[in-house]
Amino acid sequence: MILLLLAGLLLPAQKEQPEPQGKIFPAITNHLKSIATDGKSIATIHEKAQKELAKVIVEQYKSGNELSIILICTGNSRRSMMGAAMGNASAAYHGLSDLRFYSGGTTPSAFNSRSIRALKEIGFKIEPTGEKATAGPKGEENQVYNVLWGQGKGLSGIEFSKHYSDPKNPQKDFIALMVCDIADGACPAVMGAKKRVSLPFADPKAFDGKPEESTKYSERRDDIGRFMLSTLAIAKEQLKSK
């Protein structure tokens, strides 16, 4: 296990916080602080992914040029959606304004209402735009949403379930994060990606309709959030010494 919290690294004092953090919705900022200080750490299976992702961010990040990361799962409804949102909030928290997270799937369906609930619970504003994308394979209504994690430029995005190669996503020179085993196995190569990193998380879908459903979705959101926070903290610290 890798300890998540290094006080001086992940949670600087208020006066040292980067300017972009002041624009994040306060509820989200408070939640990020909470999961960063709860004493939990990332799973051992994610240690390799953390090293790989931090390394490529340090190598590729340049102020003024977007560095794109696409989180990929099967249905683009749960893990990849929550992961992109938590990634963008974490990047803003750390002041990495040119790091941008997207989501996609191998068999897109719809932005699951449980994922939306889990994100709204911590302060994300997610509202339908009134538009609809292509329906999922089982006829799922694929609403298009405006997702906001703060006020100001770069703190919002349009989200809907889509194939990872959809024109709304970056088409080349992006980092692909494979957040489910099925998508990971189905895509030994991701066209256009400069780096492919395996980062599997258990699917909270297994708990749909069960008493612990809400708890499990929140847990998965925070598991991914801790990974993002700690990984970006490592990358940020290394970028300072470049």
pLDDT band at residue 189 using 50, 70 and 90 as cut-offs:
confident
Spell out the CATH class of 7-240. Answer: alpha beta
What pLDDT is attached to residue 167?
97
At 38-90, the pLDDT tens digits run 999 999 999 999 999 999 999 999 999 999 999 999 999 999 999 999 999 99
Task: Report the 3 state secondary structure along the chain.
Answer: CECCCCHHHHCCCHHHCCHHHHHECHHHHHHHHHHHCCCCCECHHHHHHHHHHHHHHHHHCECCECEEEEEEECCCCCHHHHHHHHHHHHHHHCCCCCEEEEEEECCCCCCCHHHHHHHHCCCCEEEEEEEEECCCCCCCCEEEEEEECECCCCCEEEECCCECCCCCCCCCCEEEEECCHHHHHHCCCCCCEEEEEECCCCCHHHHCCCCCHHHHHHHHHHHHHHHHHHHHHHHHHHHHCC
Domain ranges for the chain? 7-240
